Protein backbone atom coordinates (compact mmCIF):
# COMPACT_ATOMS: atom_id res chain seq x y z
CA UNK A 1 0.00 0.00 0.00
CA UNK A 2 1.14 3.50 -0.79
CA UNK A 3 1.04 6.28 1.74
CA UNK A 4 -2.21 7.66 0.33
CA UNK A 5 -3.94 4.35 0.86
CA UNK A 6 -2.95 4.04 4.51
CA UNK A 7 -3.87 7.67 4.92
CA UNK A 8 -7.39 6.92 3.76
CA UNK A 9 -7.45 3.81 5.89
CA UNK A 10 -6.23 5.37 9.10
CA UNK A 11 -7.57 8.88 8.67
CA UNK A 12 -4.09 10.28 9.33
CA UNK A 13 -2.73 12.92 6.94
CA UNK A 14 0.20 11.77 4.82
CA UNK A 15 2.31 14.46 6.45
CA UNK A 16 1.64 12.93 9.81
CA UNK A 17 2.44 9.44 8.59
CA UNK A 18 5.81 10.58 7.24
CA UNK A 19 6.42 12.28 10.55
CA UNK A 20 5.58 9.07 12.40
CA UNK A 21 8.14 7.27 10.30
CA UNK A 22 10.71 9.98 11.06
CA UNK A 23 10.27 9.45 14.77
CA UNK A 24 10.30 5.69 14.42
CA UNK A 25 6.69 4.77 15.09
CA UNK A 26 6.29 2.92 11.80
CA UNK A 27 8.79 1.29 9.48
CA UNK A 28 7.34 0.95 6.00
CA UNK A 29 9.39 -0.81 3.32
CA UNK A 30 10.38 1.05 0.19
CA UNK A 31 9.54 0.12 -3.36
CA UNK A 32 11.95 0.36 -6.29
CA UNK A 33 10.65 3.85 -7.05
CA UNK A 34 11.38 5.06 -3.54
CA UNK A 35 7.73 5.08 -2.52
CA UNK A 36 6.84 3.86 0.94
CA UNK A 37 5.18 0.46 0.87
CA UNK A 38 3.01 -0.36 3.89
CA UNK A 39 2.14 -3.95 4.65
CA UNK A 40 -0.75 -5.10 6.86
CA UNK A 41 1.24 -4.82 10.02
CA UNK A 42 2.47 -1.27 9.41
CA UNK A 43 -0.96 -0.17 8.26
CA UNK A 44 -2.41 -1.65 11.43
CA UNK A 45 0.11 0.24 13.57
CA UNK A 46 -1.12 3.45 11.97
CA UNK A 47 -4.77 2.79 12.76
CA UNK A 48 -3.67 1.89 16.28
CA UNK A 49 -1.81 5.19 16.51
CA UNK A 50 -4.73 7.17 15.13
CA UNK A 51 -7.03 5.72 17.75
CA UNK A 52 -4.58 6.15 20.61
CA UNK A 53 -3.87 9.75 19.62
CA UNK A 54 -7.58 10.49 19.36
CA UNK A 55 -7.86 9.26 22.94
CA UNK A 56 -5.30 11.87 23.88
CA UNK A 57 -2.29 9.64 24.50
CA UNK A 58 0.97 11.45 23.85
CA UNK A 59 3.34 10.25 21.18
CA UNK A 60 5.61 8.74 23.80
CA UNK A 61 2.68 6.98 25.44
CA UNK A 62 1.69 5.68 22.03
CA UNK A 63 5.19 4.35 21.59
CA UNK A 64 4.88 2.47 24.87
CA UNK A 65 1.40 1.23 24.01
CA UNK A 66 2.65 -0.07 20.68
CA UNK A 67 5.43 -1.98 22.32
CA UNK A 68 3.04 -3.35 24.93
CA UNK A 69 0.74 -4.32 22.11
CA UNK A 70 3.54 -6.12 20.32
CA UNK A 71 4.57 -7.93 23.48
CA UNK A 72 2.27 -10.94 23.61
CA UNK A 73 3.35 -11.79 27.13
CA UNK A 74 3.00 -8.44 28.85
CA UNK A 75 0.59 -8.12 31.73
CA UNK A 76 -2.61 -6.17 31.14
CA UNK A 77 -1.81 -4.36 34.39
CA UNK A 78 0.93 -2.40 32.63
CA UNK A 79 -1.50 -1.10 30.06
CA UNK A 80 -4.12 -0.37 32.66
CA UNK A 81 -1.62 1.67 34.70
CA UNK A 82 -0.70 3.75 31.70
CA UNK A 83 -4.33 4.33 30.82
CA UNK A 84 -5.19 5.20 34.38
CA UNK A 85 -2.35 7.73 34.62
CA UNK A 86 -3.62 9.27 31.45
CA UNK A 87 -7.14 9.29 32.79
CA UNK A 88 -5.97 11.05 35.94
CA UNK A 89 -4.27 13.75 33.95
CA UNK A 90 -7.38 14.26 31.86
CA UNK A 91 -9.56 14.50 34.95
CA UNK A 92 -7.14 17.03 36.44
CA UNK A 93 -7.19 19.08 33.25
CA UNK A 94 -10.97 19.06 33.29
CA UNK A 95 -11.02 20.33 36.86
CA UNK A 96 -8.64 23.15 35.95
CA UNK A 97 -10.60 24.15 32.91
CA UNK A 98 -13.80 24.05 34.88
CA UNK A 99 -12.40 26.41 37.50
CA UNK A 100 -11.33 28.70 34.69
CA UNK A 101 -14.73 28.51 33.10
CA UNK A 102 -16.44 29.47 36.35
CA UNK A 103 -14.13 32.46 36.84
CA UNK A 104 -14.64 33.65 33.31
CA UNK A 105 -18.37 33.16 33.52
CA UNK A 106 -18.49 35.35 36.59
CA UNK A 107 -16.46 38.03 34.88
CA UNK A 108 -18.44 37.91 31.69
CA UNK A 109 -21.71 38.07 33.55
CA UNK A 110 -20.54 41.12 35.46
CA UNK A 111 -19.58 43.06 32.35
CA UNK A 112 -22.51 45.03 31.02
CA UNK A 113 -21.08 44.70 27.52
CA UNK A 114 -22.38 47.86 25.96
CA UNK A 115 -20.63 50.90 24.54
CA UNK A 116 -19.58 52.27 27.89
CA UNK A 117 -15.88 51.93 28.61
CA UNK A 118 -15.87 50.61 32.17
CA UNK A 119 -15.36 46.87 32.19
CA UNK A 120 -15.11 44.47 35.14
CA UNK A 121 -13.14 42.00 33.04
CA UNK A 122 -10.31 44.42 32.41
CA UNK A 123 -10.55 45.60 36.00
CA UNK A 124 -9.94 42.08 37.13
CA UNK A 125 -7.05 41.57 34.75
CA UNK A 126 -5.42 44.81 35.80
CA UNK A 127 -5.72 43.80 39.43
CA UNK A 128 -7.37 47.04 40.48
CA UNK A 129 -9.97 45.11 42.40
CA UNK A 130 -9.90 42.25 44.84
CA UNK A 131 -9.48 39.27 42.58
CA UNK A 132 -12.26 36.72 42.34
CA UNK A 133 -11.68 33.02 41.53
Partner DNA sequence: ATAGGTGTTCCAGTAACTGGAAGGTCAATG
Partner DNA sequence: CATTGACCTTCCAGTTACTGGAACACCTAT
Q: Where do contacts with DNA occur on this chain (CB under 7 A)?
A: 2-5, 7, 13-16, 18-19, 31-36, 53, 58-60
Report, in Å, the least distance between residue 107 CB and DNA: 19
- Residue 34: exposure state from Cβ atoms within 10 A (0-12, 13-18, ≥19): exposed
Residue 2: closest CA among 47, 42, 35:
35
Report, in Å, the least distance between residue 112 CB and DNA: 28
Cβ(10)–Cβ(4) below 8 Å: no
Strands, E, within the chain: which ranges?
29-30, 36-37
Residues forming the site for its own copies (CB under 8 A): 44, 47-48, 51-52, 55-56, 65, 68-69, 72-77, 79-81, 83-84, 86-87, 90-91, 93-94, 97-98, 100-101, 103-105, 107-108, 111-119, 121-122, 124-127, 131
Amino acid sequence: MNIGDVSDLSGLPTKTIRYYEDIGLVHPARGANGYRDFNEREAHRLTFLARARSLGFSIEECRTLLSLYADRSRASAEVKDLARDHLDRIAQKIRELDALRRTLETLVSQCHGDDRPDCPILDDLSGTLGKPT
